[in-house]
Amino acid sequence: MKPLLTPVNTATTNLYTPTHAASELQPEWLYLHAQMPPAKWASLPSFGGAASWLGMHHSLRKGQNELDYLNRQFLNHNIEADSYRQRLLQAAFLHYGHLHGHHHLEDDADFPRLRLLEPKLNAGFDLLERDHVAVAAQTQHIDSLLNELKHAETATPALAERLQQAMARNGELLYRHLADEEDLVIPVLALNA
């Protein structure tokens, strides 16, 4: 028996999935992975924009890991209060300064340029910019806790616990955001080098 309707297009669409389960990216935004899949990213030239972007993100992950480590060390009684305070304040100053500077550069220069290169990804860039706003809001709260630590006579477990929780929440958002950003941006940069 002949079917009543014959499909016009029987080709399958190859949708790519984000590199992590918590992604907020839509699969249709990842069409450039066909030409530049994540498996190829490690072999990108070290002098190119894509490799520099990945290096910057590696540095941000390392900074977040340092904050998590220092909070755990103090809460587990492995470092003294004065050492914790000094090291956490210094690490947080460096990490959050780096993070804010990186996000301002992306919002003001990088994303506008990338939007012109790949206008079909504008909704993805909107998502990344909203992430920047959410990260900044969380870090304002962290800054107030760090200011409390800076002016306290000594670091206390109660304050360290609040810092650890706030920094961990921020870290979860940051890790998801960095991975989403890489999934969206690295193919554009690599293919337009």
Per residue, the 3-state secondary structure of the chain, as one string, reads: CCCCCCCCCCCCCCCCCCCCCCCCCCHHHHHHHHCCCHHHHHHCCCCCHHHHHHHHHHHHHHHHHHHHHHHHHHHCCCCCHHHHHHHHHHHHHHHHHHHHHHHHHHHHHHHHHHHHHCHHHHHHHHHHHHHHHHHHHHHHHHHHHHHHHHHCCCCCHHHHHHHHHHHHHHHHHHHHHHHHHHHHHHHHHHHCC
Average pLDDT, the chain: 91
Q: What is the pLDDT of residues 37-71, one digit of tens each?
A: 999 988 888 777 899 999 999 999 999 999 999 99
Query: What pLDDT, on a 0 to 100 scale, did the predictor assign at position 7?
Result: 38
Mean pLDDT of 164-187: 97
Cα 60 from chain centroid (whole Å): 8
What residue spans define the domains of the chain?
48-191
On whether the 48-191 domain is CATH 1.20.120.520, my answer is yes
pLDDT per position as a tens digit, 156-167: 999 999 999 999
Amino acid identity at 34: A
Q: Provide φ and ψ at 11, rounded to 5°.
A: -70, 140
| Reported confidence tier of residue 14, pLDDT bands at 50, 70, 90 | low
Distance CA 187, CA 193 (A): 10
* Cβ atoms < 10 Å from Cβ of 188: 21
* More confident call, 5 vs 152: 152
- pLDDT at position 10 is 38
- For the entire predicted model, the pTM comes to 0.89
- pLDDT score recorded for residue 9: 36
Q: Does residue 84 have a pLDDT over 70?
A: yes
Give the pLDDT confidence score for residue 120 in this predicted structure: 97
